[in-house]
Amino acid sequence: MTTKESLLQIQSDLLTMSAMVEEQIGRIDRIMLESGAKPEGITDVLGELEE
């Protein structure tokens, strides 16, 4: 496998992992909202961390 092919594979793997993480955040967000544990959900909490 060439360096370019390796980098393309890594990029593909990272995109896949990113999508999986976003899916899990969505699931956690729904659970938090449904349980009332955090009214604004995890998405807003993560947004606060970025500020």
- Map out the domains of the chain as residue ranges: 3-48
Cβ(25)–Cβ(43) under 8 Å? yes
Please list, in sequence order, all residues whose beta carbon lies within 8 angstroms of the beta carbon of residue 9, skipping any fewer than 6 positions away: 1
Q: How far is CA 47 from the centre of its chain?
A: 13
What is the residue type of 37? Answer: A
Dihedral sign, CA of 29, 33, 34, 35? positive
pLDDT at 47: 60
Task: For residue range 1-51, list pLDDT tens digits in order.
Answer: 899 999 999 999 999 999 999 999 889 888 888 887 766 656 665 565 555
